[in-house]
Amino acid sequence: MTVTPADFKQTLGRFLSGVTVVSVEVDGELHGMTASAFLSVSLDPPLVLVSVARTAKMHALLAAANHFGVTLLSSAQQDLSNHFAGYGAAMPVWDRSVAPPVLANGIGWLSCATHAAHEAGDHTLYVGRVEALGYGDGEPLAYYRGKYRGLVPV
């Protein structure tokens, strides 16, 4: 069986994922990127991973930065997800009490030191060691089959 990029995308699109915004500050300028390819890696030490296409602007920024932030988006933040994916003009509100800054009003956030970077096909897997974190209440923004979704308790 031949695995085509279209079939690969269609199949993995059936895996429900949360939506995050990865952020960096380089030369005093804030940058963000929507990412659903995000996961926890280790509890001890606390590690997370984000997969970034080598063609993405964020790829070079992450390579230049020693730290990155991750905001776990709430269901009310679809406009921010679209903005950082390049499809909208939302005005992000940054929480500058965190370094690097993360988006305000997410359901969670993490501040990470870059721990490792691994090439993987047309992406790089950036592993971050969590140095600070926080969370609040709210429903997560979910992504399934190319669309935003809400969650319904089972």
Residue 98 is assigned to a structural domain of this protein:
no
Mean pLDDT throughout 119-135? 97
The model scores a pTM over 0.85: yes
Residue 45 is assigned to a structural domain of this protein:
yes
CATH code of residue 115:
2.30.110.10
Amino acid, res. 86: G
Residue 100 is assigned to a structural domain of this protein:
no
Mean pLDDT throughout 93-116? 96
Residue 105 gets the label, from left (phi > 0), alpha (psi -120 to 50) or beta, of left
Cα–Cα distances (Å) from 24 to 63, 64, 113, in that order, read: 10, 9, 11
- 24: confidence class by pLDDT, cuts 50, 70, 90: very high
Residue 151 is assigned to a structural domain of this protein:
no
The parent domain of residue 64 ranges over 18-93+106-145
CB-side exposure of 131: number of CA atoms within 13 Å?
14
Residue 9 is assigned to a structural domain of this protein:
no
Q: What pLDDT digit, counting tens, does each position of 39-89 carry? A: 999 999 999 999 999 999 999 999 999 999 999 999 999 999 999 999 988
Q: How many helices (H) and strands (E) does the chain have?
A: 3, 12
Rounded percentage of the chain residues whose pLDDT exceeds 90? 87
- 118: confidence class by pLDDT, cuts 50, 70, 90: very high
Rounded percentage of the chain residues whose pLDDT exceeds 70? 100
Question: How many domains in the chain?
Answer: 1
Residue 113 is assigned to a structural domain of this protein:
yes
